[in-house]
Structure 1
Amino acid sequence: MTRDSDTPTPGKKPRDESREARLKAALKANLGRRKAQARARAEPDAAPKDKNEQED
């Protein structure tokens, strides 16, 4: 499933293209954060412990 969103249509303004570039960058950054969060949750040793467990 591919999209030709990279090729500008004749009616597009340069402002629309810069908006798409900003949205694309924001989406990529958000995906990176979500993947990092998922990796952190998957590692049980790296997770911080509860306060109750630290007070032995």
Structure 2
Amino acid sequence: MEQKPTSSKPRDAGREDRLKAALKANLARRKAQARARDRAAGPDDADNKDKD
């Protein structure tokens, strides 16, 4: 009897690279959004967070 490979599809290195690039872009976008929210809140709001 002939054994089948454990995976039906060979690993695609290109797919892995695309996923890595997408993850990096997503993280950068989320960091930029967080920075924008912090800037929009203003310095007065940041000071008031600690006083609650």
Q: Name the TM-score, length of structure 1 as normaliser.
A: 0.57
Greater C-alpha Rg: 2
Question: Which consecutive residues of structure 1, in runs of 5 or more, have no partner in the other structure?
Answer: 1-8, 46-56
Q: Which has the higher contact order (CA 8 A, sep 6+)?
A: 1
Q: Distance in 1 between matches of 2:40 and 2:26?
A: 21
Aligned to 1:20: 19
How many residues in Structure 1 have an aligned counterpart in Structure 2? 37
Task: Give the secondary structure class of the aligned counterpart of 1:43.
Answer: helix
Alignment RMSD (CA, Å): 2.0
Give structure 2 stretches of 5+ with no counterpart. Answer: 1-6, 45-52
Structure 1 counterpart of 2:37: 38
Q: CA deviation at 1:34?
A: 0.2
| Higher helix proportion | 2
Identity of aligned residues (%): 19
Structure 1 counterpart of 2:17, one-letter code: S
TM-score w.r.t. the length of structure 2 is 0.61
Provide runs of 4+ in structure 1 moved above 3 Å.
Answer: none
Compute the displacement of 1:10 (Å). 6.1
* Residue 33 (structure 2) pairs with residue 29 (structure 1): no
